Structure 1
Amino acid sequence: MGLSWDDLAAASLARQFPDDPGTVAERVRAIGDLQTQTARSAFIGLGARFPGVTHAEITAAYDAGEIVRGSTIRGTVHTATPEAYTVLAEATRVGQHQRWARVLGISDAQIADLWVSIEDYAREWRTPDELRAHVDAWLARHAPASLDAAAAGPGRYLGFAHGALVRRPASGDRWEGQGKPVYGTFDRTGPVTLADVVRLHLRAHGPSSRQDVAWWAGVPLKAVEEGLAGLDVVEQDGPDGRAYVDLPDAPPPRDLPGVRLLPEFDAVLCGYDSKARDRFATSEHHRRLWNESNGMLLPPLLVDGRITGFWRAAGTARRRPLEITWFARTRRPRKAELDEPVAALESALGITVTEVALSREAT
């Protein structure tokens, strides 16, 4: 008998909403990684999963290097433990080397040499402008015809988007802000393989199709197959005609009653192929949440383990209102259910919610 979307959701919820293991680093380790190009997403995501975790605790974990943040898989920004970040860096190397070589019109060997040069240069914290200047100087010596490509489009991000650097706020302690970052070389915790990449995904997000793993990691299906060949996995048919694989020691599925306020780019969506996210959201709701023109996602509202709306707490003030919108023909969140998720948001972001407004959106 095959898996239904509900089966897949319950299995994923067991990994993304586990029992509380203790410290911030242990919590991040348990859920695998958080997509955090919106810097506050790490704070909101941890608060939604572990109500009561504080802004100060998360900040301290970043400051101590117990969790790290940088540009890795798919060129996006992720937060993870150093061990998981090492795996993400390997996925980035596999998925991005040839892409960057094509962008610049140089060989894969040259891009590897350039990345080593960037890592050597970033042994001290560097600004994006300093990294761009270093890349330009390297190209001027080794591939001057590529200078124009490095100055436009994705080439502008080459200096810090290859998985071997981590970033921190240049201003010091505002890890949840979108202020200017500085970048430093990440010291990997050890060698990893493609099997480790697939294992990390399945442990955090499974069961998954091969397309899910490839999309999440930003690697070709051939690399996913190579990783699976090094793992002991179980396989079942899924509701969309794809085969779904999982680790044999996966935790039992769980329900998730109640309301959670999730961050932009949360794993319940971004852990999976963008064409097959039905385990948590209908296609109609997914289109409403995801702006394909700019790649931005509205922060999802999770009700009883399904995404049924979105929320906003706009601005950067320490005191701000909260607006929650639920989609028509979904369950309306009860006001009494909002006390815990609002308190979790306040604790994790270090803010005070001055009022809560509920509204329905027709879809």
Structure 2
Amino acid sequence: MTTLSNRALNRALLDRQFLLVRTDHTPLEVIGRLVALQAQEPNWPYVGLWSRIHGFTHSRLTTLLQDRTVVRSGLLRSTQHLAAADDFRRLRPLLQPVLDRTARSAYFARNSAGLDPASLVATGLELLADGMTPRKELARRLAERHPGRDGRTLAGEVELRTPLIHNPATGAWGSWGTRSAVSVTPAEIWLGRPMAPATAKDLIRRYLAAFGPAGTMDVQAWSGLTRLGEIVSDMRAELRHYRGPDGRELIDLADAELPDPDAPAPVRLLPAFDNALLGHADRTRIISHEDRNHVMPGQARVRPTFLVDGHVRGSWSLEGDTLRLTPFRPLSATDRAALEQEAERLLPFVGGENVAYGGPGATRSP
């Protein structure tokens, strides 16, 4: 069994994520390859696609949301994602146990104690029967039906327990801080088609195409699903097998090619919550344990980052019209110049005018 170095795994991930070379594939094709894009805040998927696609413009994603080809909803790990509509129809039912598990957490359970989950969902769907409804209105109506309970929490539980699509406007570029303005509608009404569950094997194959080679624990960390070991074992004959740097067994699609580990990796700026950083239990192929603490300081926070030679070397932020780069340690003159050039290219896309440095790694290396 071939042992793959950390660098080989890094280059494989970058290649499959379109971060080794920008692609001419359409945004829909790229979203399909990546399975889904984190969309905690509406603007970040746009930056993720800009870093992966030649000549990407905001309208190319906004149009997909408006024509219902791409949708925004809860998906992987119970978090908001963008996915192709057909993928959402297949993947949301498969991932529903993950969202149900979140709905049973103490935060929701305290508020809905004594309520039958199926009845709560039925009530929610009844209140949403007329189409797109503001979350605030759904919360108000649920509170009327269930006096003494917090309506916003009940609305959140309904959204976890049944697939609801967000209105396209809340996925549009520039929609920062619009969570309170989100409207939702049942997925089958929005899509005009029923859910059509995929199998766990389908999901594993899709994952490997975007994140492999990887281990079973990596698939579980990315998806939120558990107990996939038996399913992976049943797929053994169709997969290729490797060892990772730590001796763990890794799996991959049989026909998947690995790029040259010595292939150059250009500087890339990634958005907050990018799944390239979140797609594995062991993330050292792209970010060190030390730097992970800088980027992910809490459970619900993943800062925007930049890659140098394929690995996270710092974070960035947009402060007014200034794009601020924060290296975690000093960069070489060559890497600094490449980073500045990429940041300058991103500026017009995010509406900035200046690039500046900050943080302990900002000092120029000799």
Q: Under TM normalisation by the shorter chain, which class is it?
A: 0.7 to 0.9
Number of the residue aligned with 1:321? 322
Out of 9, 20, 23, the position equivalent to 2:23 is: 20
Number of the residue aligned with 1:64? 67
Q: In 2, distance between residues paired with 1:252 and 1:26?
A: 21
Could you tell me which amino acid in structure 1 is paired with residue 345 of structure 2? Answer: A
Deviations 1:44-84 (CA, angstroms, capped at 9, x unpaired)? 00001114201122211211122211112222111111132
Which residues in structure 2 correspond to 1:1-363 (within 5 Å)?
Answer: 1-17=2-18, 20-101=23-104, 103=106, 104=109, 110-112=116-118, 114-115=120-121, 118-119=124-125, 121-123=127-129, 124-133=131-140, 135-136=142-143, 140=146, 148=149, 157-162=156-161, 164-168=163-167, 174=173, 176-179=175-178, 180-187=181-188, 190-220=196-226, 222-223=227-228, 225-226=230-231, 229=234, 232-253=238-259, 255=263, 257-273=265-281, 276-292=282-298, 295-315=300-320, 320-328=321-329, 330-331=331-332, 333-335=335-337, 337-344=339-346, 346-347=348-349, 349=350, 351=351, 353-359=352-358, 361-362=360-361
Q: In 1, distance between residues paired with 2:353 and 2:127?
A: 46
Distance 1:90 1:321, change over 3 A: same
Distance 1:27 1:217, change over 3 A: same
Q: In 2, distance between residues paired with 1:302 and 1:268?
A: 11
Q: Which structure is higher in RCO with an 8 Å CA cutoff and minimum separation 6?
A: 1
Distance 1:171 1:307, change over 3 A: closer
Conservation of the 8 A alpha-carbon contact between 2:142 and 2:155: no
Deviations 1:89-125 (CA, angstroms, capped at 9, x unpaired)? 1343122324424643889x95356445544543511
SS of 2:276's partner is helix
Q: In 2, distance between residues paired with 1:128 and 1:280?
A: 37
Measured after TM superposition, the shift of residue 329 of structure 1 is: 5.4
Could you tell me which amino acid in structure 2 is paired with residue 286 of structure 1? Answer: R
Q: In 2, distance between residues paired with 1:206 and 1:171?
A: 32
Conservation of the 8 A alpha-carbon contact between 1:43 and 1:176: no
Question: Pairwise CA RMSD of aligned residues?
Answer: 3.2
Distance 1:338 1:225, change over 3 A: farther
Q: Any gaps of 5 or more consecutive residues in structure 2?
A: 189-193
Conservation of the 8 A alpha-carbon contact between 1:169 and 1:181: no
Measured after TM superposition, the shift of residue 262 of structure 1 is: 0.5
Count of residues in Structure 1 that have an aligned counterpart in Structure 2: 343
Q: In 2, distance between residues paired with 1:360 and 1:74?
A: 32
Q: In 2, distance between residues paired with 1:251 and 1:301?
A: 26
SS of 1:49's partner is coil
TM-score using structure 2 length: 0.81
Conservation of the 8 A alpha-carbon contact between 1:291 and 1:297: yes
Q: In 1, distance between residues paired with 2:124 and 2:5?
A: 46
